[in-house]
């Protein structure tokens, strides 16, 4: 298959306008972008994965773009497993794994790092305050990691920043009612 495919796994706790922008921009670059919610073993998640996956699925459905798919069945807490599942389901050889620049230096410590680097090329999205430092670039070269650094510009918002300073304007419009009706992320707001 000659398609260029992006695999976009995220904690999405909750999905933000940043996630929305990333998905929209990936659809301009890739033949297909596959999104899913993961259980990051290095994070404490505020909401359960079933809630977070419902939110991301709703966001992707609202984008109504045939080049963006939601497929929770590829989810695993281990990137290598998600990559293998995706390649098997979609019968792929080439796959770009989307990662934020805040996490790129962590990949060297991921489970089965060597297998991951054999399977994918990384597509690094720059996040404000998290440049890809020269020592990280040297390590990527040393380990022969295939990667591209994106020129996509995304809003300076993250799920953790949204949770600590909750503001509905940083949520995609399609998610506001769901979050309100289900009292999601409520305890993150300061009550005076």
CATH of the domain at 103: 3.40.50.620
pLDDT of residue 8: 98
Token readout for 14 is 């909750």
Q: Count the domains in the chain.
A: 1
Domain hosting residue 177, numbered range? 5-188
Q: Which two tokens stand for residue 124?
A: 């690094």
Distances (CA, A) of 42 to 77, 110, 133: 10, 10, 22
Residue 159 CA, distance from chain mean position: 11
Sorted by sequence, the CB contacts under 8 Å of residue 44 that are 6+ apart come out as none
Residues of the chain with pLDDT under 50: 1, 188-192
How confident is the model at residue 42, as a pLDDT? 78
How many angstroms separate the CA atoms of 113 and 104, rounded? Answer: 12
pLDDT at 2: 60
Show the beta-strand stretches assigned E in the chain: 5-10, 32-37, 68-70, 96-100, 121-125, 147-149
What is the C-alpha separation between 171 and 45, in angstroms, rounded?
A: 17
Phi, psi of 51 (to 5 degrees): -70, -45
Which is nearest to 172 in space by CA: 86, 57, 75?
Answer: 57
d(CA 169, CA 88): 38
Strand partners for 8: 35
Residue 174 makes CB contacts below 8 A (sequence gap 6+) with: 58, 59, 61, 62
Q: Count the helices and strands in the chain (H runs, E runs).
A: 7, 6
């Amino acid at each position: 298959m000659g398609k260029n495919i992006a695999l976009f796994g995220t904690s999405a706790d909750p999905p933000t306008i940043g996630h929305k922008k990333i998905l929209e921009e990936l659809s301009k670059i890739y033949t297909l972008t596959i999104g899913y919610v993961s259980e990051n073993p290095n994070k404490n998640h505020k909401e359960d994965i079933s809630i977070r996956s419902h939110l991301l699925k709703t966001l992707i459905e609202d984008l109504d773009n045939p080049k963006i798919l939601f497929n929770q069945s590829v989810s695993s807490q281990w990137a290598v497993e998600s990559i293998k599942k995706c390649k098997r389901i979609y019968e792929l050889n080439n796959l770009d794994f989307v990662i934020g620049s805040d996490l790129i230096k962590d990949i060297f410590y991921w489970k089965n790092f060597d297998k991951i680097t054999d399977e994918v090329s990384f597509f690094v999205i720059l996040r404000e305050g998290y440049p890809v430092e020269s020592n990280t670039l040297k390590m990527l070269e040393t380990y022969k990691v295939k990667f591209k650094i994106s020129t996509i510009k995304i809003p300076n918002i993250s799920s953790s920043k949204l949770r600590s300073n909750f503001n509905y304007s940083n949520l995609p419009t399609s998610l506001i009612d769901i979050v309100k009706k289900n009292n999601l992320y409520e305890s993150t707001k300061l009550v005076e």
